[in-house]
Amino acid sequence: MQNSEILSGIKEHTLSNGLTVICLKKNSAPIVAVQVWYRTGSINERDGIRGISHFCEHLMFRGSQHVKPEEHARRINDIGGHCNAFTSEDVTAYINSVPCRYLDMVLELEADRMSSLLINETILEVERNVIIEEYHTYMNNPVAKAFLEFRNDFFNGHAYAISPLGRLEDIRAIIAADCREYYKQWYTPRNAVLVVVGDIDSEQQVFDGAEKHFGAIAQSAALPEASGGGIIPRPQGQRLIKHKVEFDVPLIIVGYPAPASKDSDALPLEIMQLIISQGETSRLHQRIVRDKSIAVMVGGMNHCLRLAGMSLFFAAFTPDISAQKVERAILEEINIIKQKGVSAAEIEKIKNSTLTSRVFELYSAEHICQRIGFCEIVEGDYKHWVRRLTELAQLDGNKLQEAANRYWNEADRLTLHLQPKRINPAVVGAGIFRRLFGRFLKTA
């Protein structure tokens, strides 16, 4: 099924209890991807229970009325499938991929944990220890730890400031009643989307299966809109954070505010980000890695969430180069693109690479399922994903430049310098010598 045919192939149905079911028939391999996306994540947390969304994600594998602890994962594994889950700021998603004849079994398992999760103190304590171990695994990586601190500063005052991992003191303090309350509020049919993609007989098979297993789950009251504290966060003035870490590669991260994922500026800013930072022909790579040779690696990404986002640029370099020099070079390229815009060839490049990524994405039922779920929940409509190629075709250079000028503003910039705790003087000396010698040769 090619991209142009997908929109007409996707079918949608809403059960009387509010559960949205979206499915797509794709018969190229005898497998089916089944995902349940809940509109909740760390955005819905408050002080004292930071991390509870992720905690509940773990508990969802620890048994429900008809399913024993870990039985969900075991039953999926035992038929050759795989399952997983993740919690982000805006969503919590449960992912299953199985041989297609087991579709009904997965629907039954997912419905059971949507309606009757068991939360008891014994399981909670064991799972708390597992989550604390997971927390420490992240925190034992100095770069991951520094980035968590960076986002904390970036989104200061907003729920997005705390990552979905949560706060250690809160994870230690969460009790079963907190989890029950959270589960009762957010794990409801009205707050979820079931997405099925793969080798199904017909869309009706999925809708009937959904009705059979999820149909009896009681309708819930309307949910409050997630506000994250009410403020759409923007960094307050240009700021710099410096950290010394047990890591030998100096790093710099430059961050600007980015629009919410469903904002009309999200796509143009994404294209600008790709032009400036994707691949070896990108502007940053050409100028900073190849021409000036002051960084070993540069990159960038927009992290667009439901209510706000971050537009990030990063570089890794050697200790003989100053962070300020790399930062200046990045800012210079950002200013050039803001002032002079982009070329038609650069836009064509991004169109081609986006089309290629889409075409290869379409081979995988799980990827399609994930894209539909994400767009439906975070962007408000799965059709955005399908139409992105058309929207991309309509973008011109002016719209891109305008978006960059709206978001990449000096006054809103937050920069992080990560400096190695231990610098080897020989490395610095050799680097300076190399640079002087290189310059001398060039002059000669």
The residues of the shown chain that bind other proteins, judged by CB under 8 A, are 1-2, 28-31, 61, 69-70, 73-74, 77-82, 97-99, 125-134, 136-137, 139-143, 246-249, 279-281, 286, 289-290, 293, 296-297, 316, 318, 345, 348-349, 351-357, 359-360, 362-365
Tell which residue, 300, 273, 303, 321, has the closest CA to residue 417: 321
Q: How far is CA 322 from the centre of its chain?
A: 31
C-beta contacts of 400-405 below 8 A and 24+ residues apart: 400/268, 400/271, 400/272, 400/275, 400/341, 400/342, 400/347, 401/272, 401/337, 401/338, 401/341, 401/342, 402/268, 403/265, 403/268, 403/269, 403/272, 404/269, 404/272, 404/334, 404/337, 404/338, 405/338
- To the nearest whole angstrom, how small is the minimum distance from the Cβ of residue 213 to other proteins? 21
Instruction: Indicate left, alpha or beta for 433 from its phi (over 0: left) and psi (-120 to 50: alpha).
Output: alpha
- To the nearest whole angstrom, how small is the minimum distance from the Cβ of residue 266 to other proteins? 21
Nearer to other proteins, 136 or 328 (CB): 136
Tell which residue, 184, 124, 151, 87, has the closest CA to residue 310: 151
Q: In angstroms, rounded to a whole number, what is the distance separating the alpha carbons of residues 375 and 50? A: 25
CA end-to-end span of the chain: 60
Nearer to other proteins, 50 or 62 (CB): 62
Q: How far is CA 234 from the centre of its chain?
A: 19
Q: In angstroms, rounded to a whole number, what is the distance separating the alpha carbons of residues 209 and 323? A: 57
Nearer to other proteins, 241 or 297 (CB): 297
Q: In angstroms, rounded to a whole number, what is the distance separating the alpha carbons of residues 138 and 419? A: 19
Nearer to other proteins, 126 or 240 (CB): 126
- To the nearest whole angstrom, how small is the minimum distance from the Cβ of residue 254 to other proteins? 19
Nearer to other proteins, 48 or 438 (CB): 438
Q: How far is CA 46 from the centre of its chain?
A: 21
SS3 85: strand
- To the nearest whole angstrom, how small is the minimum distance from the Cβ of residue 5 to other proteins? 11
Q: In angstroms, rounded to a whole number, what is the distance separating the alpha carbons of residues 277 and 283? A: 6
- To the nearest whole angstrom, how small is the minimum distance from the Cβ of residue 312 to other proteins? 17
Strands 11-14 and 20-25, by their bridges, are antiparallel
- To the nearest whole angstrom, how small is the minimum distance from the Cβ of residue 339 to other proteins? 23
- To the nearest whole angstrom, how small is the minimum distance from the Cβ of residue 54 to other proteins? 12
Nearer to other proteins, 121 or 133 (CB): 133
- To the nearest whole angstrom, how small is the minimum distance from the Cβ of residue 357 to other proteins? 8
Nearer to other proteins, 248 or 381 (CB): 248
- To the nearest whole angstrom, how small is the minimum distance from the Cβ of residue 43 to other proteins? 24
Nearer to other proteins, 231 or 296 (CB): 296
Nearer to other proteins, 195 or 305 (CB): 195
- CA distances (Å), origin 281, targets 70, 116, 274, 335, 429: 47, 53, 10, 18, 31
